[in-house]
Structure 1
Amino acid sequence: MNMNISRIIIIVLSAVFASCSIDNYSPPNGGIHGKLIDKITSKNFQTQQPNGYNVLLFEKGGSQNIPLVIPGKPDGTFENSYIFQNEYKVVVTEGAFFPLDTVTVQVGERTQVDFEVMPYLALTNVSVTTSPGKITATYNIARQVESGKILDRMTLVSEIPTVNNVVFDHRRATDLSAVADPAILADTFVDEIDGLTSGKKYYVRVAARIQSALGRYNYSDVFEVTIP
């Protein structure tokens, strides 16, 4: 019995050492990073995370059906610093913007690739002011390409830096589905949110969306305010 156990242990250890000696591949030594630039505002494309947008990388010589997925960050940037240096087909998709063409990128040690996107909507002339227990957001909605009906607009307030349609503590939302789009685009909107705590810091963002397959919102920058 002891002899059999000893043989089993030897076989297992031999397999372990053999696998260790074979596993000598070089680790990934490449990286890709960049940002999406809003064609209307000329600033970083503002979004949310998750469900903001994805960057898909199809490696040359690899499977064309299983891409490497890089989720976009709320400020429009993306990065993966642990991929193999190689040629990739890059697709930016699933965001609140019109489709982009696929591009081919040679990824080296640290390669930067920026993309210009045409958003469905842009939040422009955004200002956030404070008064005791309250914030007031003033903004316009703009677009350069007519697409789906503008559905709604909102001002979102969060007690943490993350603020979007899913993460918020206070919200003022307005249904625009019955309002003609030209009237929306010509208007200036003012949202007030009260019941906030004096002396406390909040994060404020404005959003709007059109009728689209994914129902994604377009966002403004995040404003950090302290209530007087």
Structure 2
Amino acid sequence: MNSIINIKRFIILGIVLTLFSACELDNFDGPDSGLYGRILDEETGELVPQDIINGTLIEIWEDGYDPVTPQRLEVKNDGTYKDTRLFANTYSVIPVNTNFHNNATIGIDTARVTISGQTEFDLKVTPYVRIVDFDLTQSGTKVVARFKLEQPIDSVYLAEGDVDKTAVIIDEVSLFVHFDPNVGREMSLGKTTESIGAIIEAGVNDEYRLDFDTSKDTDFVNGGKIYMRVGAIAEMPQARTNYGPTIELDF
């Protein structure tokens, strides 16, 4: 009988010790810092809008670990990003899948950022193409978007040691339409597209017009609040779309 009682005591003691150990592990401090910022056009100082789905990502590599797996911060539709739950440390910050020139084209240095508390860090970049002089008019169910394209850099060295530059071709321009304000290439119910396949030259092929008629699209025949955005995409490896402003209209 006593042996049974002793066994029970050992079992209970083991359970208590296990629970105590678990509590000790749970008492480690959680992440108390964060990183936030903006992607800014280096020349204009304006935000560089993105796709909320499959858009530009900010990779952060934390010091002190080998191997280390990068964390990826998604950039919002307006070109801002934020992660409030990171550990204080020094990180390497690298943008990937971008709609601006990066290490693959003009050799942007990897940023080294010491994160302590909520830390602000803006990336100043050169977009593949800009949508400028944008104007949108509505008449009944029809919308006309007029705008110009501006290309900050027409050619680049794609790899270290290259002696010949490669032209940055702008593939196409589109007017994207959706009921969601995050409208874009990855989130559109309707669109009008024009192929370009050229380097943008001021005064030669920089003016465009795209029309959209909601009465001719089954997703929009009932009307309502609709969001539109013009985007242009470059023929660069893994390039993402460059955008103009998001416009809200009622039909």
Give the alignment's TM-score, normalised by structure 2.
Answer: 0.80
Deviation beyond 4 Å, 4+ runs, structure 1: 1-10, 196-199
Are positions 1:167 and 2:183 aligned together? no
Deviation at 1:41, TM superposition (A): 4.1
- Matched position secondary structure for 2:201: helix
Are the counterparts in 2 of residues 40 and 144 from structure 1 also a CA contact under 8 Å? no
| Candidates 190, 197, 201, aligned match of 2:209 | 190
**Once the two structures are superposed, what CA deviation does each residue of 1:89-137 show, in whole Å capped at 9, x if it has no partner?**
2112221111132121121211111111101111111122211112111
Point out the more displaced range, 181-190 or 51-60. Answer: 181-190
CA RMSD, aligned part only? 2.5
Are the counterparts in 2 of residues 28 and 83 from structure 1 also a CA contact under 8 Å? yes
User: 1:35 is matched with which residue?
Assistant: 38
User: 2:227 is matched with which residue?
Assistant: 203
Are positions 1:220 and 2:244 aligned together? yes
Compared CA separation, residues 19 and 135, structure 1 to 2 (3 A): same
- Matched position secondary structure for 1:42: coil
The whole-number CA distance in structure 2 between the counterparts of 1:17 and 1:48 is: 47
The whole-number CA distance in structure 2 between the counterparts of 1:126 and 1:103 is: 33
- Matched position secondary structure for 2:14: helix
Are positions 1:119 and 2:127 aligned together? yes
The whole-number CA distance in structure 2 between the counterparts of 1:23 and 1:133 is: 59
Deviation at 1:175, TM superposition (A): 1.6
Counterpart code for 2:82: E
User: 1:76 is matched with which residue?
Assistant: 79
User: Radius of gyration: which is bigger?
Assistant: 2
Deviation at 1:42, TM superposition (A): 2.7
Compared CA separation, residues 51 and 40, structure 1 to 2 (3 A): farther
Deviation at 1:5, TM superposition (A): 8.1
The whole-number CA distance in structure 2 between the counterparts of 1:193 and 1:4 is: 79
Superposition pairs of residues 49-128 of structure 1, within 5 angstroms? 49-63=52-66, 65-99=68-102, 100-128=108-136
Deviation at 1:169, TM superposition (A): 1.7
Counterpart code for 1:204: M
- Matched position secondary structure for 1:27: coil
Counterpart code for 2:98: G
Are the counterparts in 2 of residues 156 and 168 from structure 1 also a CA contact under 8 Å? yes
**Once the two structures are superposed, what CA deviation does each residue of 1:140-179 show, in whole Å capped at 9, x if it has no partner?**
11111013211111101111112111211211011223x5
Aligned length: 226
The whole-number CA distance in structure 2 between the counterparts of 1:59 and 1:195 is: 48
The whole-number CA distance in structure 2 between the counterparts of 1:48 and 1:188 is: 24
Compared CA separation, residues 140 and 9, structure 1 to 2 (3 A): farther
Deviation at 1:184, TM superposition (A): 8.4
- Matched position secondary structure for 2:23: helix
Compared CA separation, residues 95 and 162, structure 1 to 2 (3 A): same
- Matched position secondary structure for 2:27: coil
User: 2:176 is matched with which residue?
Assistant: 156
- Matched position secondary structure for 1:145: coil
